[in-house]
Amino acid sequence: MPVPVPVPAPVPAPASSASTRPPASSSRTPPPGQAGRAAGLATVALATTHRADELDADLVVTDLSALVTDAGVEISVRG
């Protein structure tokens, strides 16, 4: 005979307020590109909301057509 298992009541989510949210730019967030490099990866930045000279990446493009070939999207590191 099955034993009934009590189901706990759901815990209500806290009310959302600007005072409890972290700021949009947090000191815990590394600048774009640093996390990828720290992991040993090559980085690609897409200059849309930031100017290309503001971005720190191995490759900065203004649109993704720079990465598209007849075979699809291709990113390779030449060195």
Predicted model pTM? 0.48
- Contact at 8 Å (CB) between 52 and 62? yes
Look up residue 43 and give its DSSP letter.
Answer: -
Percentage with pLDDT > 90 across the chain: 0
State the pLDDT confidence band at 67, using cuts at 50, 70 and 90.
confident
pLDDT in tens, 7-39: 777 777 766 655 555 556 555 666 666 778 888
Q: How many CB atoms lie within 10 A of CB 62?
A: 12
Read off the tokens for 61. Answer: 């493009």
Query: How far is C-alpha 12 from the geometric centre of its chain's CA atoms?
Result: 28
Q: The tokens of 16 are what?
A: 């959302």
